[in-house]
Amino acid sequence: MRGLHRQEVAAGRALGSPRSIVATLAVMCAPLSSGIARAEHDMAAMSAHHAHEGSELSAGVAVEAAQFDTMAYVGSYQGITPSIGWMRGRFGAGATLGLYHLNKNGLSLYGIGDAMFTGHATVWATETVQTGLALHLMAPTGSELDGLGMGHVMATPSAWASWRRDRLSLWASAGYSWALTGGAGQHNHGPSPLVDPMNMQEVTWSAGGDLDVAHGIRVGAHAQGGIPTGVGSDRVIGAGRVAWGTPRVSTAFELQLGLAGDPFTIRGVVETALRF
Amino acid sequence: MRVSDLRLVLGLVVSLGLVACTSSALPEPTQAVCPDPDPGTLTWDSFGQKFMADYCTACHDSSLSHAQRNGAPLYHDYNTLTGVLEIPDHIDEYAGAGPASENTEMPPSRCPTVMGGPLNRDCPKPTTAERTNLAVWIACEVKRPH
């Protein structure tokens, strides 16, 4: 769920231009867990070629590694997250499922995380400004007991907006996550480093910017987090990113720091996406 | 924006959502109740300490370092009554049995032979009667003066 808003933000930003379809597809395939999804759009948007109408598919994979030192656990994890995406016009959908190796307090285990499904639509778009809506659903495919999943369905509707001029892009998003369970509000996921959102109900947010620094290369920074509306704790993540590639194949590297709420100490993510 | 596109996207999201809603069961409070008046038959000395030693403290012991805990969270230590009373609801929801639920999430499948050692044996499991006594003991213990 990490960085969930950025996917649709990127998609929306891509719309409204001749290269929109390819760009949108690019982000649809990006694993949400990586938070690098938007970089795929950035790469795609650098080229006006390959744009065409109709449905398009995409596939991607992200590899991540992180260290954490929370109130309850000390350890690390590594993950690989395949993803698929589909896009047509203003609408898109995608799915991701991560596979993880988790080491916490001396216990080493492997398993899948929670699956995520996304649907999104651009509501309004011009050459410089785009806005849209999205819905994320997380399914409890990961073991809650092992700390690989939430143990319940989590839904996150959200809204986003972006602005672009010349080489600079700015974007922001906000949503509300809540657990679809009878026990909602009775506990939170604070101690589990892989689970995000960590709170049973929270306002999620993200904001960032990117800059074209050379042909096919962009750098950027962003922050994202969660504010609990019931029991729980605030969470803030800061990140820097560099992305490169072509409209069809793009790669990005992102370095993230957990600034508040113990999500992790440091996390690195490398992601590649293929659009076709 | 065509209606057919919208239907397709909504259908996909709803379908995936329905799939997502088909699993998951969180640990639940047992709703165990301490008899009134408290008979005092289930105490730390008569029941709790042995239960924890038999099934829990190989990993949930305050003397164990991070690496020796085999995944047990810090501050979830049951080698003292004080430690148990830090999170009685959590214990009830993961190992207790009562009118509302029988929770068997703990102990896990594999355990160390020696405290803090490698996971080299199947964990011994409490009987339903022991889990029931655990929940009742906790319900009583939290009401007692300490």
- How close B144 gets to chain A, by Cα (Å)? 25
Tokens read off for A43:
């790469």
Cα of first residue to Cα of last residue in chain A, in angstroms, is 25
Q: How many CA atoms lie within 13 A of B39 on its CB side?
A: 9
- Which sequence spans correspond to the domains of chain A? 4-275
Nearest 5 degrees, angle CA A253-CA A259-CA A260? 135
- How close B108 gets to chain A, by Cα (Å)? 9
Q: How many CA atoms lie within 13 A of A132 on its CB side?
A: 30
Sign of the alpha-carbon torsion through B65, B66, B69, B75: positive
Instruction: Check CB contact under 8 Å for B28 and A183.
Output: yes
Residue A57 has pLDDT above 70, yes or no: yes
Greater confidence (A71 vs B48) lies with B48
Total residue length of chain B: 146
Q: What residue type is assigned to position A121 of the chain? A: A
Instruction: Check CB contact under 8 Å for A71 and B75.
Output: yes
Residue A268 neighbours by CB distance under 10 Å: 14
Beta strands in chain B (DSSP E): 110-112, 119-122
User: In this predicted model, what pLDDT tens digit does every residue of A113-126 receive, in sequence order?
Assistant: 999 999 999 999 99
Chain A residue whose CA is closest to B108: A145
Share of chain B above pLDDT 90, in %: 77
- Strand, helix or coil at B30? coil
For the whole model, what pTM was predicted?
A: 0.77
Task: Look at residue A185 in the predicted model and tell me its pLDDT.
Answer: 42
Cα separation, A216 vs A214, whole angstroms: 6
User: In the predicted model, what is the mean pLDDT of chain B?
Assistant: 87
The ipTM is 0.75
Query: A184 — contact with chain B (CB < 8 Å)?
Result: no
Tokens read off for A82:
């395949």
User: In this predicted model, what pLDDT tens digit does every residue of B28-78 receive, in sequence order?
Assistant: 899 999 999 999 999 999 999 999 999 999 999 999 999 999 999 999 999
Q: What residue type is assigned to position B110 of the chain? A: R
Greater confidence (A182 vs B89) lies with B89
Q: Which CATH number applies to A4-275: 2.40.160.40, 2.60.40.10, 1.20.120.400, 3.65.10.10? A: 2.40.160.40
- Strand, helix or coil at B97? strand
Q: What residue type is assigned to position A195 of the chain? A: V
Query: B66 — contact with chain A (CB < 8 Å)?
Result: yes
**Cβ atoms of residues B61 and B49 within 8 Å:** no
